[in-house]
Structure 1
Amino acid sequence: MKKSVLALSVSALLLTACNDNSPNVVEVVKEVEVIKEVPVTPTPVTSVKNVILMIGDGMGPQQVGLLEDYARRAPNSTYNGKGNLTALSKLADNGHLGLALNQPYGATSGKLVVDSACSATQLATGKASGSEMIGLDEQGFIVETILEKAKKAGKATGLVSDTRITHATPAAFAAHQAHRSLEGAIAVELVTSGSVDVLLSGGAREFVPADIKTNTAAQQAIEALGAAPSVYKKSKRKDSRNLLVEAKEQHGYSLAFDKTQLANSDATKLLGLFANSGMADAIAYKACSANNSCTEPSLKEMTVKALDILAKDPDGFFLMVEGGQIDWAGHANDAGWMLNELLKFDEAVEAVYQWVKDRNDTLVVVTADHETGSFGFSYSRKDLQEGKDLPGDGMHGAQYKPNFNFGNLSNLDMLYKQTGTFFNMMDAANANWDFASATASDWMNAINKYSEYKVNIDQAAKVGEREVNDYYAPDHSYQSATMVPKFEDFKEFYVYADEDHTGKIARALAADQNVVWGTGTHTAAPVPVYAFGPEGVTKAFSTMQHHTDLANKMMVALGVAE
């Protein structure tokens, strides 16, 4: 019984008690005392109109730990004055937290470690898939994704990424290809399928004709759409199709190519391509934000625009947002870059949290496709701590003197202040990536230009060491390299040829950073799952599950399950 109803009942009884033939007031009150409140239990909300899935590519528990340590404990944390709470923490505090396994889960395609294509496919379809497949089950059959089901149900749909829109994670929600490398075919599907209303990312090189460098007519047609030459400077297509023109003239998309065009667009069907390949990294974004010179929109800005557009649909929407360069930094074993990417992703999560926190019609799920790099802080025997006196009565005259270097919190600030990625350092060591010609001095100057941690000439010389590729394969996209960086440990897990000089830089800086890396690829670590929204929906995510389970739970919540 509600309190207001109880009060009225008591008042009525007391008034009645004033009549001569009524029992005395004390007796009435005694009777009232036995009346119990019966709480009104609201009907739990078990379905939602909107689902927002946010994927921190490569963001395992270790990466979340780095973000939270920085936010809560870095002496100069950018979260100071904001309660030192990340947006991820807000979701955890006000929603549910779980874990997800992510390996290829098929009976015939089962493996120990997943790539982004298979992982995203399993997240998108709820079905087991095979390594490097896009939108296919483990037998190679096309499977309808949650995005496609949402569109069929009359909902608006969107994909946002700071990598390329044809990259593995966004592609898996709206394309169906035998291999993730078929980005040209993926671009065609994204534009022509009619499944996606909002596409915001990089990757224009997959949408312009193969001869774009010399095709003046195509250049003029693209410029007429509003694109600058930097966006279409290079093509990865193998045909003459101009998908930008097709998107506008045949499929009804409005186009945007920079931050201003995106902000000014009032379209309900929008293709935004803001870079020729991947979008600006988080360190570059931090720098241009400081002086208000960014020409590309941020992940947050793309996310907010997508929400503005999709929320206009009265039937609801499905939106996937990827912070994809957390993974790229992990592959590079670049802790400073990775921290900045985590901050950029959390900024987008904060925008979503603010949009959804007072609603009860939206489910937000934040997770990762896998962990990248086997990253971790670790204690070492370098720079052992000096003993010091403590005032506590339990010390009994002994000094506080741990046996090992457990890492100073100042490392968090130093990682944040890195001014370029390890790839920037490689560019500085040799602009043509002719690393056989790069000297120890070249490497030392390049690293010290961008890093708060400095290397000496001997450390730099080891960064440049190379060896014959023991795993040479002439037709392989990476193992066709005859010479590769020389690793003293785990060399089989550095698979990207020259790009893996980043892992050598990481080893040169590792002892000073208190950072270790185990691989240049992925690990099989379970990844965090944050679920925010109506309790009747989110509590199902607070468990150990697989990515296929996450997909099916989201489909049930959105009302599009089979």
Structure 2
Amino acid sequence: MTHKSLLAVAISSCLLTACNSDTKTVEVVKEVEVIKEMSAIEVTQVKNVILMIGDGMGAQQVGLLEEYARRAPNSIYKSQGGKTALSKLGEMGQLGLSLNAPYGDNGSLVVDSACSATQLATGKASGSEMIGLDSDGNIVATILEKAKEKGKATGLVSDTRITHATPAAFAAHQPHRSLEAQIAEELIASNNVDVMLSGGARVFLPADISSNTQAQQAMQALGAPANVYKKSKRSDGRNLLLEAKEQHGYSLAFDNKQLSAAQGTKLLGLFANSGMSDAIAYTACRKDNSCTEPSLREMTLKALDILSKDEDGFFLMIEGGQIDWAGHLNDTGWMLHELLRFDEAVDAVYEWVKNREDTLVIVTADHETGSFGFSYSRNNLPEAQSLSGDGMQGRDYQPNFNFGALSHLDKLYAQSGTFYKMMDRVDASWNFDNSTGQQWADAINEYSAFKVTAEQASAVGVRENNDYYVAGHNYLSAAQFPKVNDFKEFYVYGDETHGNLIGRALAKEQNTVWGTGTHTAAPVPVYAFGPYGVTKQFSMMQHHVEIGQKMMTALLGDN
């Protein structure tokens, strides 16, 4: 219990007993005075830091989560009074905002996840798509690495890939985020990360894993199911999972049962070949108890269990990474489910830390993705209603525009597949050259509670010549792109843009708008929970570089 809570209890005790004896009064007054003295000693250092990053989670995304939790007619938060874990942190801790662009006079306006996470991890300015480097390209020690040097335990958790930009930035140093095979080597060889839980097995496996029977047998001997070692993204014969176990002492886990049973202080859990399952699939498997991958919450709890055994304390980064993926696709229903999955993990952390005075929790985002929002429109105008209020003066209530029904929130939650699922239904190989509006409407209507006609869906499959062709570019080397009629320069991911066009087809029914398929420079929320002497400095407009510096000072002193 915190000093503030103890003080409240002592005062309440006096009030409840009416301080009905001189002896009792003296005892309670003494207790209050002692607690006041304890409270007056400002705590500015912590033993543990837990950083939670909702990738792509701007204020708009938080708004979607809170609107659903508080006002959806069938909100899954009803039994909790509509209160999210994020809102608990906000009420009990401090709230601020943070700018996140590449820092300094030579930076740029918009950030990517690698640069943003690097700035959080190092407290230094970095450049776009760099991992663990400053803006001049120098290797910079991260908060995780400095914590390890101080004898603290360390951990990284993500529902994407452990070598993806955000987790990688805390424990690797590479000129570009795409170098995931090299990042995997660093993560294993450095021995800096005690617990790593995520997806991304494909860069830990030898190049010939799909045809090498001996290698597959070795993986089976480690307990890895076939779906984890089906494909490699390495160009050599190294098996980093074997190296992790045999040379570096890691226990390995490949599904939720193995994670639950894992022992020891070093654990590598890789639960998918690439990214872990999306949160809509997680919601479905949780209902029938068929999940084989652990949830973000379960990975978080396991990491806390292992790391908290270190008497020197720990640093733990937890990422809800697919909020960003849904935002890139402009998929509101999927994004809601990802926010719910992330909030489950936030709840686990809140319950673990709520009565502690030795831990700082920071929840923020690396950036906002998609420029998302609910918006009123001229579609489906409301009908007139008669209201009983004495201020209506005989007039009907009839707003000029459609401001969006709360039932939309339940319908977003009811979405049963991502836009990728819809695209797969039209053509599993993503050859949409001859696709029809009816095919797109059928696919959308199978998975969405919002329905569209063939005419409304006809634009989803339309393609055009790529005006921004760049030979050899990862995304822009395609001769043709899906046709976007407005802001098309901001839809950069090739054929995935057909998913964004699904978002456009559904927009008027959902009362949703999206401005981009990439990131925006919007400031992002910062939730700080822990001793007030530490958290008060986060209740302001700041920059991610400053957040990184503040976390280091709180955990490590003058570093």
Verify same fold: TM over 0.5.
yes
Look up the match of 2:401. Answer: 404
**Could you say what secondary structure the match of 1:218 adopts?**
helix
- 2:332 is aligned with 1:357: no
The superposition leaves residues 275-308 of structure 1 with CA deviations (integer Å, 9 ceiling, x where unpaired) of 0000000000000000000000000000000000
Quote the offset at 1:239 in angstroms.
1.0
Look up the match of 1:211. Answer: 208
| Cα distance in 1 between the residues matched to 2:487 and 2:238 | 43
Aligned to 1:247, which of 244, 247, 252?
244
Quote the offset at 1:560 in angstroms.
4.7
The one-letter code matched in structure 1 to 2:183 is I
Look up the match of 2:268. Answer: 271
Which stretch of the first structure deviates more once superposed, 283-292 or 230-239? 230-239
Look up the match of 1:76. Answer: 74
Quote the offset at 1:44 in angstroms.
1.4
Aligned to 1:42, which of 36, 40, 43?
40
- 2:470 is aligned with 1:473: yes
Look up the match of 1:378. Answer: 375
| Cα distance in 1 between the residues matched to 2:290 and 2:298 | 15
Look up the match of 1:289. Answer: 286
Quote the offset at 1:212 in angstroms.
0.9
Look up the match of 1:328. Answer: 325
The superposition leaves residues 467-508 of structure 1 with CA deviations (integer Å, 9 ceiling, x where unpaired) of 000001111000011111001111000000101111100000
Quote the offset at 1:438 in angstroms.
2.3
Check whether the contact 1:106–1:138 (CA below 8 A) recurs between aligned residues: no
| Cα distance in 1 between the residues matched to 2:515 and 2:251 | 44
Check whether the contact 1:127–1:137 (CA below 8 A) recurs between aligned residues: yes
Look up the match of 1:91. Answer: 89
Which stretch of the first structure deviates more once superposed, 381-390 or 514-523? 381-390
| Cα distance in 2 between the residues matched to 1:540 and 1:227 | 45
| Cα distance in 2 between the residues matched to 1:388 and 1:107 | 56
Q: How many correspondences in the alignment?
A: 534
The one-letter code matched in structure 2 to 1:89 is S
Q: 1:97-496 counterparts in 2 under 5 A?
A: 97-108=95-106, 110-496=107-493
- 2:64 is aligned with 1:59: no
**Could you say what secondary structure the match of 1:235 adopts?**
coil
**Could you say what secondary structure the match of 2:79 adopts?**
coil
Quote the offset at 1:442 in angstroms.
1.9
The superposition leaves residues 354-380 of structure 1 with CA deviations (integer Å, 9 ceiling, x where unpaired) of 000011100000000000000000000
| Cα distance in 1 between the residues matched to 2:450 and 2:423 | 16
Quote the offset at 1:213 in angstroms.
1.1
The superposition leaves residues 235-291 of structure 1 with CA deviations (integer Å, 9 ceiling, x where unpaired) of 111111100000000111010000000001112100000000000000000000000
The one-letter code matched in structure 2 to 1:304 is L
| Cα distance in 2 between the residues matched to 1:197 and 1:122 | 22
Check whether the contact 1:106–1:129 (CA below 8 A) recurs between aligned residues: no
| Cα distance in 1 between the residues matched to 2:284 and 2:488 | 34
Larger radius of gyration: 1
| Cα distance in 2 between the residues matched to 1:442 and 1:71 | 34
Quote the offset at 1:184 in angstroms.
0.3
Q: Aligned residues: percent identity?
A: 70
The one-letter code matched in structure 1 to 2:190 is S
Quote the offset at 1:389 in angstroms.
1.0
Check whether the contact 1:54–1:321 (CA below 8 A) recurs between aligned residues: yes
Check whether the contact 1:373–1:520 (CA below 8 A) recurs between aligned residues: yes
Q: CA RMSD in A?
A: 1.7
Check whether the contact 1:362–1:534 (CA below 8 A) recurs between aligned residues: yes
TM-score by length of 1: 0.93
| Cα distance in 2 between the residues matched to 1:137 and 1:75 | 48
Look up the match of 2:27. Answer: none
Check whether the contact 1:430–1:442 (CA below 8 A) recurs between aligned residues: no
Aligned to 2:516, which of 501, 516, 519?
519
Check whether the contact 2:159–2:276 (CA below 8 A) recurs between aligned residues: yes
| Cα distance in 1 between the residues matched to 2:557 and 2:370 | 35
Quote the offset at 1:561 in angstroms.
3.8
**Could you say what secondary structure the match of 2:389 adopts?**
coil
Quote the offset at 1:106 in angstroms.
3.2
Quote the offset at 1:208 in angstroms.
0.2
| Cα distance in 1 between the residues matched to 2:76 and 2:478 | 42
Which stretch of the first structure deviates more once superposed, 456-465 or 52-61? 456-465
Check whether the contact 2:45–2:557 (CA below 8 A) recurs between aligned residues: no
The one-letter code matched in structure 2 to 1:150 is A
Quote the offset at 1:439 in angstroms.
2.4
Quote the offset at 1:437 in angstroms.
3.0
| Cα distance in 2 between the residues matched to 1:191 and 1:57 | 24
The superposition leaves residues 52-75 of structure 1 with CA deviations (integer Å, 9 ceiling, x where unpaired) of 000000000000000000000000
| Cα distance in 1 between the residues matched to 2:264 and 2:302 | 10
Check whether the contact 1:156–1:317 (CA below 8 A) recurs between aligned residues: yes
The one-letter code matched in structure 2 to 1:220 is Q
The one-letter code matched in structure 2 to 1:348 is A
| Cα distance in 1 between the residues matched to 2:442 and 2:264 | 48
TM-score by length of 2: 0.94
The one-letter code matched in structure 1 to 2:425 is A
| Cα distance in 2 between the residues matched to 1:128 and 1:561 | 18
List gaps (5 residues or longer) in structure 1. Answer: 12-36
Look up the match of 2:29. Answer: none
**Could you say what secondary structure the match of 1:81 adopts?**
helix
Quote the offset at 1:214 in angstroms.
1.1
Runs of 4+ aligned structure 1 residues displaced above 6 Å come to none
